[in-house]
Amino acid sequence: MLSLFWSYSKLVGWCSQVGTEDIKGLDFIVFEEPEMTIISCHVEGNGTDELRKHLMVEIRSASDLNKIESVFPLPISNFFQVKGLSKGRHLLQLQSGLPQGSLKFESDIIEVDLEKNVQIHVGPLTYRIEDQLKQVFSCLHSFYFCLLLLSVFCFLMLLWCGTYF
């Protein structure tokens, strides 16, 4: 029996020399398109491990944005694999369970067509987390500085007016 690990060139060269007689003992390997759909993806972002605990992977149907196909927590490895989605176009995105007031969260959206590629790896799916408190504190510092200048000005005006009245 022929080995399944023949190189393609050896097999083609051997087959081209065969005449009209039958070939026996030749095994064929057939690759079929798998029935099950698989999406795998890796995630990159700037959050700490503590913040990453609050991130969820969300997969939606691209044709019906209200139809959520799958939602699950982002694994610690920042890699995920989802099996058994329906064939068609899907949108991958991260959602945040972080408090709205303190942090600003943004995630890219990746569109995947499982009609064309039943099994596909995509990525990176990137996200950004920014601390909004820094912006608020910088505005508050400016406000308090102006308030301090105004109060010093008023105090000096009172002293100046008090000396003339």
pTM of the model: 0.59
3 in Cβ contact with 26 (< 8 Å): no
Long-range contacts of 17-25 (CB under 8 A, 24+ apart): 25/1
Domain annotation covers residue 44 = yes
pLDDT in tens, 5-30: 444 444 444 445 556 677 777 777 77
Give CA torsion, residues 130, 132, 135, 139, to 10 deg: 180
83 belongs to a structural domain: yes
Q: Which among 100, 12, 13 has a CA at the least distance from the CA of 54? A: 100
Least confident stretch, 14-18, 26-30, 98-102, 132-136: 14-18
CATH of the domain at 107: 2.60.40.10
Whether 16 maps to a domain, the answer reads no
